[in-house]
Amino acid sequence: MHALKSVAGAAGLGMIGFYLGLGFVAVLRAMLGYPDAWGGEINIVGGYVFGLVGWLMGIGMWGIWIREWFGLKTYQRRAPGWQRYFTFNTDHKVIGIQYLVTFIVVFLLAGLLALGMRLELASSGMQFISHSQYNGAMGLHGILMIAVAVAAVIGGAGNYAVPLMIGADDMAFPRLNALTFWLIPPVAVALLATPFLGGIETGWTAYPPLSTTTNSSQILFDLAIITFGLTSILGGLNFIITIIFMRAPGMTWGRLPIFVWSMFVTSWLAIFFTQGFAVALLMILLDRVAGMAFFSAEAGGDPLLYQHVFWFYSHPAVYIMVLPGFGLALEVISHFSRKPLFAYRYAVGAFLGILGLSGVVWAHHMFTSGMPNYLHGPFLVATELISIPTGLIFLSALGTIWMGKLWLQTPMLFAMAVIFNFACGGVTGIFLADVPTDIHLHDTYFVVAHFHYTIVGGEIFALFAGIYYWFPKMTGRMYNETLAKLHFWWMFIGFNLTFFTMHLPGVKGMNRRVADFPESLDNLNMLVSISGWLLGLSFLVFMYNMINAWIRGPVAEANPWRARTLEWQTTSPPPHENFPEQPVIKGHPYDYGVPGSVHGVFPNSGLAGAPSGSAGGGGQ
């Protein structure tokens, strides 16, 4: 068993590294005369760093990469079939699927935590869990879902589809790409270990001074998220270089599929802003292990500083989450409406506009923080302005479906739901951007409902659109359409019931991040809990359909959706090098209804992209 050997071996090395690191720091501490050589949080830091290195070397970085630095011959484990998903594989298609499967599992885990929370919140008073357990579950749900939202579409759909869609044979830096994925398991292990050190008490936002004084799980949280930020930055870099330099001949910026555009812009966001979060948490870490007192008011520090640095990343982060979702939805909407993407240039402009504005709106999360009054006006203005480019995304989506030939298969249903849900999330955003309404609504369930509408309703629905859209391409098999539609309607109705209702307790006076609330809000909360469970159960249908189809679904065509973009002009699944030969781009990817237009051709093997006019003509 290659798979077992690969992962178990690396985990073993990781463990050895972890204890070595603990011991190394302990020896240093003993030599420097600390009374408690083993007892400091800095031991955990040492253990984590050594463990991380051990894990990465074990999983394959040593063989495939580091040996090169010492002039040794590199080698790669060649695992057969499905087992390659458990190795340091540099194929972007393998990495994309690794990301997707990993983050679906994380999504379901974090979803289970949410169901647990909704159980406790079904009525006032404390029924099932303690306050401390609730806080731990809530913090873990938050940060795991943030990780899913940041990495599932970018790492999964992005890695899988971007090189295919631009006609490249892989990403620009395949080994770096594999590294970004294999940094994820230590992050997951560290986060899942937090309950053993007392549980995350601070939510995913980790505001000091609470985070500098809370239990030691904060150390694991900081280390995990700094690592996670690193994967985000490296991944962003890889996408930028890939998209700039590896486009097929003729793939001009004006012919770039909209999903690739969204990934391009998102990658810039990732490399501009992610270090904000990493630095904020590094400062927390240093406050804890080195007594820096950056955020300790009595020692001359300032807790508010953290909030600025933190939101400097964490607001753009919502666009890191949602822009690829928009791109994916627009992509699917054009193919399934059989119409050119409406106002393509405006949609691209919208992405760039959001890129520009996203860096100057962060303090709208801090309207009630006690920051000086002169800051509110500018951040209110910038925040409202961002609704203008966002409106252009709606223009593009609605213009494309108008008068189209809508093929309402599951990917299209999910993509249309993205637009539907985001309309609600966008409008409620106005209430939070306008300071006079935000003062009451801030840190209430209105906010919780709002960001679930944008992130789940916008991005996670797009993720499912992408999963169903590319499932035949990835696996070479077709899922069951009836079950998929059942999943869609179940999830769509469950989602809207849960989160639309959730606005109401917020306005009525229910603050967020609480395990208990006044009895007067009992009925509303019961309704939210029941709807939430309904939503949760819909994923059983999804899981059954995916697993079943992957194992024994009917063999998929090369181009089941009659789509024009390049990934559909090769076999399902594509060969290792993606295309039979270098494709050449002749026209726009979305020119449906334009007689005689083609997108990509293979000059020598005579395969051509779907000629439009005849919808049936696709692939081979």
Partner 1 sequence: MAPKLRQIQRTGEQAHKEALTYFHLDTFHDRMRTAAAAEWGVAARSLSLAGQGAQLLHVRHLITAGLLWVVLTAVGELLVVADLYPTVGSHEAQDFDDIFRFLLLLGVPVMTFVFAVLIYAGLQFRIRTAVPTEDGPAMRGQGWFPRAWLAVTGGLAIFVMIYPGLTGLAELQQGDKGASGWGDQEAEVTIKATAFKWQWLFEYPDGTQVSVAAGKELVLPNETSIKFEVNAADVVHSLWIPAFRMKIDAMPGRTTYMTVKPNKLGEFASDQAYRVQCTELCGLDHATMMFPVRVVEPQEFESWLASLNEGGN
| Complex with partner 1: residue 407 or 533, whichever CB lies closer | 407
- Write the DSSP assignment of 478-503 as a string of letters: ---HHHHHHHHHHHHHHHHHHHHHHH
Q: Which is nearer to partner 1, 9 or 560 (CB)?
A: 560
80 is an interface residue for partner 1 by CB under 8 A: no
Using the rule CB under 5 A, give the single segment among 11-19, 33-41, 307-315, 518-526 that binds Cu ion. Answer: 307-315
Backbone angles phi, psi at 122, to 5 degrees: -60, -30
Amino acid at 533: W
- Pick one of 24, 268, 394, 533: the residue that binds partner 1 (CB under 8 A): 394
Nearer to partner 1, 367 or 470 (CB): 367
Size of the site for partner 1 (CB under 8 A): 107
Angle at 114 between CA 110 and CA 118, to 5 degrees: 170
Residue 515 in the binding site for partner 1 (CB under 8 A)? yes
Dist CA 446 CA 503 (whole Å): 4
Task: Judge whether 232 and 240 are in contact, CB under 8 Å.
Answer: no
Q: Using CB under 8 A, which residues numbered 195 to 254 contact partner 1? A: 201-203, 205, 207-210, 213-214, 250
Specify the stretch interacting with Cu ion by CB under 5 A; choose among 101-109, 281-289, 312-320, 373-381: 312-320
- Provide the minimum distance between the beta carbon of 365 and Cu ion in the complex, in angstroms, as a whole number: 5
| Cβ–Cβ < 8 Å for 288, 212 | yes
The residues, any chain, with a CB within 8 Å of residue 116's CB and separated by 6 or more, are: 128, 129, 137
443 binds, among partner 1, Cu ion, none (CB under 5 to 8 A by kind): partner 1
CA distances from 354 to 317, 390, 421, 431, 541 (A): 12, 8, 19, 19, 36
* One-letter amino acid for residue 302 of the chain: D
| Contact flag: residue 384 with partner 1 (CB under 8 A) | yes
Cβ–Cβ under 8 Å, residues 49 and 59:
no
**Least distance from Cu ion to the Cβ atom of residue 314, Å:** 7
| 84/315 with CB nearer Cu ion | 315
* Residues 289-318, interacting with partner 1 (CB under 8 A): 297-298, 302-304
Residue closer to Cu ion (CB basis): 315 or 487: 315
- Tell me: does residue 315 bind Cu ion (CB under 5 A): yes
Q: Is 354 in the site for partner 1 (CB under 8 A)?
A: no
- Six-digit token string for 213: 């004084």
Helix (H, G, I), strand (E, B) or coil at 413: helix
368 binds, among partner 1, Cu ion, none (CB under 5 to 8 A by kind): partner 1
Q: Which of 221, 310, 319, 517 binds partner 1 (CB under 8 A)?
A: 517
Residue 129 binds which of Cu ion, partner 1, none (CB < 5-8 A, kind-dependent): none
Separation of alpha carbons 141 and 372, rounded Å: 32
| Cα–Cα dist 555/457, whole Å | 31
- What, of Cu ion, partner 1, none, does residue 33 touch, CB below 5 to 8 Å by kind? none
Which residue, 336, 168, 404, is CA-closest to 263? 168
How many other CB atoms are found less than 10 A from the CB of residue 23?
A: 16
Output the CA angle 111-116-119, nearest 5 degrees. 125
Separation of first and last alpha carbons in the chain: 37
Q: Return the residue of 444, 496, 498, 525 that touches partner 1, per CB under 8 A.
A: 444
Does 146 help bind partner 1 (rule: CB under 8 A)?
no
Q: Which of 58, 60, 399, 583 binds partner 1 (CB under 8 A)?
A: 399
Q: Which is nearer to Cu ion, 135 or 578 (CB)?
A: 135
User: Which range binds partner 1 by CB under 8 A, 1-9, 176-184, 218-226, 389-397?
Assistant: 389-397
**CA dihedral of 483, 487, 489, 491, whole degrees rounded to 10:** 170
Whose Cβ is closer to Cu ion: residue 451's or residue 461's? 451
Instruction: Compute the distance between CA of residue 376 and CA of residue 374 in angstroms, rounded to an integer.
Output: 6
Among the residue ranges 9-17, 83-91, 182-190, 441-449, the one whose residues contact partner 1 (CB under 8 A): 441-449
Instruction: Using the rule CB under 5 A, give the single segment among 294-302, 315-323, 558-566, 590-598 that binds Cu ion.
Output: 315-323
CA-to-CA distance for 356 and 312, rounded, in angstroms? 13
Which one of partner 1, Cu ion, none is in contact with 403 (Cβ closer than 5 to 8 A by kind)?
A: partner 1
Q: 217-245 vs 131-151: helix axis angle to the nearest 10? A: 10
- The two three-digit tokens of residue 156, written as one number: 């999964």
Residue 485, interface with partner 1 (CB under 8 A)? no
Site for partner 1 in 592-611 (CB under 8 A): 592-597
Interface segment toward partner 1; rule CB under 8 A; list 2-10, 165-173, 382-390, 575-583: 382-390
Beta-carbon contacts of residue 244 (< 8 Å; ≥ 6 apart)? none
To partner 1, the closest distance from the beta carbon of 552 in angstroms equals: 22
Contact partner at residue 315 from Cu ion, partner 1, none, CB < 5 to 8 Å by partner kind: Cu ion
Q: Specify the DSSP class assigned to residue 613.
A: S
**How are beta strands 600-601 and 584-585 bridged, if at all?**
antiparallel
81-120: contacts with partner 1 (CB under 8 A):
none
Least distance CB 429 / partner 1 (angstroms): 10
Residue 590 CA to residue 471 CA, distance in Å, equals 21
What residues form DSSP beta bridges with 191? Answer: none
Amino acid at 473: K
Q: Which of 27, 244, 381, 547 binds partner 1 (CB under 8 A)?
A: 381
CB of 318 to Cu ion, least distance (A): 5
Binding site for Cu ion (CB under 5 A): 315
